[in-house]
Amino acid sequence: MKFNFSSFSKSYDKERLPRKKIEFIIDYLEKENFKVLFFLNEKDYLPNSKKINLFKTENINYSSLFSKNESVPFIRISKHFKSNLFQENQNPLVDISGHLIGIKLKSVYLGAFYLQHSKFKKEYIENLLEYFKHLIQSNFNEIVLGDKLKKRSSDLRNKKLEFESFLDISELLSDNIESEILFQNLLEYLVFTMNATKGIILSKDPNSGIYDLKASLGINDDLSKKILRENKGVLALLKKRKESLIQSSNKDLSLLSYSKKNCVLGPFMSGENLNGCIILYDKESRNGFIDFNQYDLRFFNSIVKKISLSYDNIILLENIKKSKKLIDNIMSSISTGIVKINLMGEIEYINDSAIEIFKFNNENLLNNHYAMVFEDNMNLVELIEFAESRNHILYEENLNILKKDRNETSINLTISPVFEEGLNSGSVISFEDLSDINKVKSTFKKYVSENIVDELLLNEGSLELGGVEQEVCVLFSDIRGFTSMSEKLEASKVVKLLNQFFDKMIDVVFKYGGTLDKIIGDELMVLYGAPLKKKNDILNAVTTAKEMFTTLDKFNKEIVADGFPELRIGIGINYGKVICGNIGSEQQMNYTVIGDTVNLASRLCSAAKPGEIIISESVNKELIGNHEFVLNEDLTLKGKKRPVKNWKYTHHIL
């Protein structure tokens, strides 16, 4: 008899082949009515499909049984030995005519197999036994060697995985990545390489001494809310021992309470100081948790030492990045353009405002020479060259520059040399864009006092342009009898007189924070509370009106001396809601106010006689304790259904 397994070799890989052969042999023998049983110390040697033929044995000394012959008739086996072969209630009533044959690997017995056939003669059986002994033994040898090889391959793969992880961790430590990401990656590498279930990395805050959670995996507790210090517990232990160690689970120590079995702890040491640590919890195996062993500790320690060496650099890099981010944020938030050039004249830094002022658009600015970057502005280039040659601070006001969009603007320029450890390392150029400031100033300075312009520029939020409703005090003044007077004077003299008059009046207006809305002929319209609302808008309007009279008194003395007739004015003031905003067409747009409040102020002005200020009820309410204004007769005004209550102040020329 000879089995041909050549077709098997093609169908099955090396690992599965010997078990398949055993399966085939058993199938063959059973088909030929043999009873086949196996007694093995290791159940996995038999293929799964043939486990029914297996009796798992434990601590049986097969060597003594087969000391004389590797094949023993079952009848000759002692009762004691038989009872060891079968556990209670599992004896399958083995026929005593069968034989037990040892399965030996080198000099060690793996077990035995039993073969019995009721019909074949003894001589035939003995020959057959010899053949199957060799066949089964050789296949079991292959199984055992294959399993050993598989185990060693697996060990080798695990070692390779550790080695690869070690290399990956080394690479990670040299990568320029955010420390939070770096620590998380390090932890993940260590957890999966060491088959841990979870882990954490803590890092000491040098200011508070409290350990912050830098990375975690598999920990559900919010550890970041716990105060962890090195004066007690695990951190104190690590600080004292200064080396990696294995610790069993301990419910009393918070950092060890996450473990069910044991954990490995590694300190990040810098000399005598503990800077942080890494803890891995509970090693997994296929059969549940197992203890981290000394080999694990050795591998872990080598990595922890590597992290320790890099730790200072990681933190330093993190601090540098934080500082850079802070400076970038500051530089981005300021409206002043900043450019840093090095000694070679190359741009090392440029902030967003500088890019905006010059309208640079995706140009390659960094590391480019300033003469190239500012090639459209030779005046600027020359100033930088000059400042560089003199090595001192240079200021230039209202410098006109050409932006990349071909529009011009003016800037205030400062060029300052920069010194590092006493040596010049280049210059910082700062630009203050005057375009917006000039636009606003030129727009408003005709209408409001300089201090209001400055205040508006300082506090942009206070200025709301474009159709907002707000409460405003409106003052109208009008020269009485001006039309008839002007008819008697030359036109040029009238214009000159009016200009002088308005100069004086507007000075008073600006003195009390008024906004000159418009001049219509001989009439002035002034606002208090627009565009900028102030606390004493009404009082300021009334004070302005009163001072306009005293100023006019002085002015009249001057003009009378020049042969002009005296000017007399009447003033009306009202306070109430108006619509403020830039009103007009695209071609001409003016900041003004409209509404009933304005109309009433104008009507009150019309009703005022020369030397009189007429105020509305809303203005009078704000003048508590002021007895200069007296209740006047109700006025019937155009556009008003009911008579209007009003108060009157009469100016007496001193």
Partner 1 sequence: MSKIIDKNIKNGVVIVSTEGYFNKDLGEALKEITDQEIKEGHKSFLINLDQSKIVNSIGASILIEIIEELQTVEGSLNFCNLAPIIAKTFKIMGLTKYCETYENEEAALQKLA
Residue indicated by tokens 């007769």: 633
218 contributes a contact to partner 1 by CB under 8 A: yes
Applying CB under 8 A, which part among 188-196, 306-314, 422-430, 546-554 lies near partner 1?
188-196
Q: Which of these segments, 195-203, 421-429, 500-508, 580-588, binds partner 1 (CB under 8 A)?
A: 195-203
How many residues line the site for partner 1 (CB under 8 A)?
A: 23
Which of 3, 124, 131, 192 is in the footprint of partner 1 by CB under 8 A?
192
Among residues 188 and 558, whose Cβ is nearest to partner 1?
Answer: 188
Question: Considering the complex, what minimum distance in angstroms separates the CB of residue 293 from partner 1?
Answer: 15
CA distances from 441 to 196, 458, 510, 511, 563 (A): 69, 12, 15, 18, 38
Task: State which residue, 13 or 88, has the beta carbon closest to partner 1.
Answer: 13
| 195 sits near partner 1 (criterion: CB under 8 A) | yes
Q: Is 188 in the site for partner 1 (CB under 8 A)?
A: yes
Taking the least distance from each CB to partner 1, the nearer of 11 and 319 is 11
Nearest distance from residue 182's CB to partner 1, in Å? 15
Tokens standing for 225?
A: 């809310």
Q: What are phi and psi of 223, to 5 degrees?
A: -65, -25
Part of the chain binding partner 1 (CB under 8 A), chosen from 37-45, 279-287, 443-451, 626-634: 279-287
Q: Which stretch binds partner 1 (CB under 8 A): 110-118, 196-204, 239-247, 645-653?
A: 196-204
Q: In sequence order, what are the beta bridge partners of 115?
A: 36, 99
Q: Of residues 27, 126, 130, 164, which one binds partner 1 by CB under 8 A?
A: 164
Measured from the CB atom, the residue of 17 and 524 that comes closer to partner 1 is: 17
Beta carbons of 111 and 41 less than 8 angstroms apart: yes
The 8-class DSSP code of residue 175 comes to: S
Concatenated DSSP letters for 223-291? GGGS---TTSHHHHHHHHH-S-EEEE--TTSGGGTT-SSEEEEEEEEETTEEEEEEEEEEEEETTEEE-
Piece of the chain touching partner 1 by CB under 8 A; list 215-223, 297-305, 371-379, 521-529: 215-223
**Shortest spacing between CB 286 and partner 1, in angstroms:** 6
Stretch that binds partner 1, among 29-37, 194-202, 449-457, 577-585 (CB under 8 A): 194-202
Residue identified by tokens 């043999």 is 34
161 scored as a contact of partner 1 (CB under 8 A): yes
| Minimum separation from the CB atom of position 1 to partner 1 (A) | 29
Strands 35-40 vs 468-480: parallel, antiparallel or unpaired: unpaired
Coil, helix or strand at residue 392: coil
Instruction: Say which residue the tokens 């012959």 belong to.
Output: 69
- Neighbour-count burial of 238, counting CB atoms closer than 10 A to its CB (0-12 exposed, 13-18 middle, 19+ buried): buried
Q: Does 400 bind partner 1 (CB under 8 A)?
A: no
116, 139, 179, 193: which one binds partner 1 (CB under 8 A): 193
CB-count exposure of residue 392 (10 Å: 0-12, 13-18, 19+):
exposed
Q: Which stretch binds partner 1 (CB under 8 A): 189-197, 316-324, 405-413, 490-498?
A: 189-197
Helix axes 294-333, 179-193, angle to 10 degrees: 160
Interaction of residue 157 with partner 1, rule CB under 8 A: yes
CA distance 186 to 278: 10
Rounded to a whole number of angstroms, the minimum distance from the CB of residue 258 to partner 1 is 12
Q: Does 191 bind partner 1 (CB under 8 A)?
A: yes
Q: Among residues 61, 95, 93, which one has the least CA distance to residue 80? A: 61
Of 266, 25, 279, the residue nearest 129 (C-alpha)? 25
Per CB under 8 A, 11 contacts partner 1 = no
Q: Which amino acid is it at 534? A: K
Total residues belonging to the chain: 654
158 binds partner 1 (CB under 8 A): yes
- Closer residue to partner 1, CB minimum distance, 42 or 617: 42
Smallest gap from residue 187 Cβ to partner 1 (A): 10
Q: Which of 221, 284, 328, 454 binds partner 1 (CB under 8 A)?
A: 284
Report the helix count and the strand count for the chain, using DSSP H and E. Answer: 18, 24
Q: Are 22 and 50 in contact (CB under 8 A)?
A: yes
Closest by alpha carbon to 443, among 531, 337, 512? Answer: 531
Of 185-193, 345-353, 537-545, 617-625, the window that binds partner 1 (rule: CB under 8 A) is 185-193
Which of 153, 208, 257, 332 contacts partner 1 by CB under 8 A? Answer: 153
- Minimum Å gap between C-beta 288 and partner 1 is 8
- Cα angle: 442, vertex 444, 449; to 5 degrees: 115
Q: Which of 154, 313, 319, 636 binds partner 1 (CB under 8 A)?
A: 154
Task: Please report whether residue 220 would count as binding partner 1 according to CB under 8 A.
Answer: yes
480 pairs with which residues across the strands? 568
Q: Is 197 in the site for partner 1 (CB under 8 A)?
A: yes
Closest CB to partner 1 among residues 15, 432 = 15
Residue 285 touching partner 1 (CB under 8 A)? yes
Secondary structure E strands in 41-146: 54-56, 71-73, 99-105, 108-116
Decide if residue 189 touches partner 1 (CB under 8 A). yes
Q: Which residues make up the interface to partner 1 (CB under 8 A)?
A: 153-154, 157-158, 160-161, 164, 168, 188-189, 191-193, 195-198, 217-218, 220, 284-286
